[in-house]
Amino acid sequence: MSQENNNENQPVYLPIDGVLDLHHFKPSDVGTLVDEYIRACLEKEIYHIKIIHGKGTGALRKSVHHLLERNKHVESYQLAGGRSGWGATVVELKNL
């Protein structure tokens, strides 16, 4: 996984650890990013992930949930509890 560093426009490689923080990416990248991250997690046998989308207006959360609904590898998802609250979604992936 890589992201563009706004300061240098050089790719930065992120570990695939089950937590995807969308604050580091442009909103236009989210459409493909979520599916790619799910695929990468499955390759590493990570089946419980957290996607941090922030609270804001809820538009990014809705986009993420729409992407999760149509991804065949998603067993279930829900808003995270605790401190994350509405700012993150936890996802259970199918162990196929």
Which phi and psi (to 5°) does residue 87 adopt? -85, -5
> Can you state the angle between helices 59-70 and 30-43, rounded to 10 degrees?
50
The token duo for 89 is: 């979604």
Residue keyed to tokens 């992936």: 93
- Give the model confidence (pLDDT) of 26-78 as tens digits: 888 999 999 999 999 999 999 999 999 999 889 999 999 999 999 999 999 99
What pLDDT does residue 35 have?
96
pLDDT for 10 beyond 70:
no
Task: Give me Rg for the CA atoms of the chain.
Answer: 13
3-state class (DSSP) for residue 85: helix
- pTM to 2 decimal places: 0.85
Looking at domain 2-93, its CATH class is alpha beta
